[in-house]
Amino acid sequence: MLCLFNANKYDEDFGPGEAAKRFNDDISRWNVDRVESMNSLFCECESFNQDLSGWNAEKCETMERMFAGAKSFNQDLTGWNVERVEDMAYMLIGAEEFDSDNIKNWDLGGRGGVFGYV
C-alpha cells in the first residue's frame, strides 16, 4: 500500500492532491492482515480521522510517513502490534491533532523518529 491517492481518477474531480486532502472515508473494515508496507498511505490526507483500531498491522514492516501531513488524524492505535515494523521515520510528522498517548504502549525498541527528526 503506497500513498492512497497517488495520481488517481479522483484528482480529476478535485484537482491535483485535492482528493487526498478531503479523504475521510470509513475504511475500518479493510483487511490489512498481509500488508507489509504502509509507506505514505495517508500522506497529506489532511481531513482523515477514522478509527483504525481494528486493523491488524502485525505483518507490517514499514510505516514511514504513514500519517505525514494528516493534520486531523487523532485515533487510538494502542492496540496495534508494531513489533515487526523496522521503519517509522516521519510516521506522524505534521499530524497536528495526534495525541501521543494513542501510541503510549508501543515498544519502539530504539526505532525513533515517529514524529519526525529534530
| Residues 21-35: tens digit of each pLDDT | 999 999 999 999 999
**According to the model, what pLDDT value does residue 4 have?**
53
Q: Name the band, by pLDDT with cuts 50, 70 and 90, for residue 118.
A: very low
**According to the model, what pLDDT value does residue 112 have?**
62
**According to the model, what pLDDT value does residue 116 have?**
62
Alpha carbon distance 5, 2 (integer Å)? 9
- Quote the mean pLDDT of the chain: 85
Q: What is the pTM for the complete model shown? A: 0.82
Q: Please provide the distance, in angstroms rounded to a whole number, between the alpha carbons at the two ends of the chain.
A: 27
Contacts 24+ apart (CB under 8 A), 10-19: 17/44
- 49 neighbors 75 (Cβ within 8 angstroms): yes
**According to the model, what pLDDT value does residue 42 have?**
95
**According to the model, what pLDDT value does residue 6 have?**
52
Task: Name which residue leads in pLDDT, 8 or 109.
Answer: 109
**According to the model, what pLDDT value does residue 15 have?**
55
Q: Per-residue pLDDT tens for 56-91?
A: 999 999 999 999 999 999 999 999 999 889 888 899
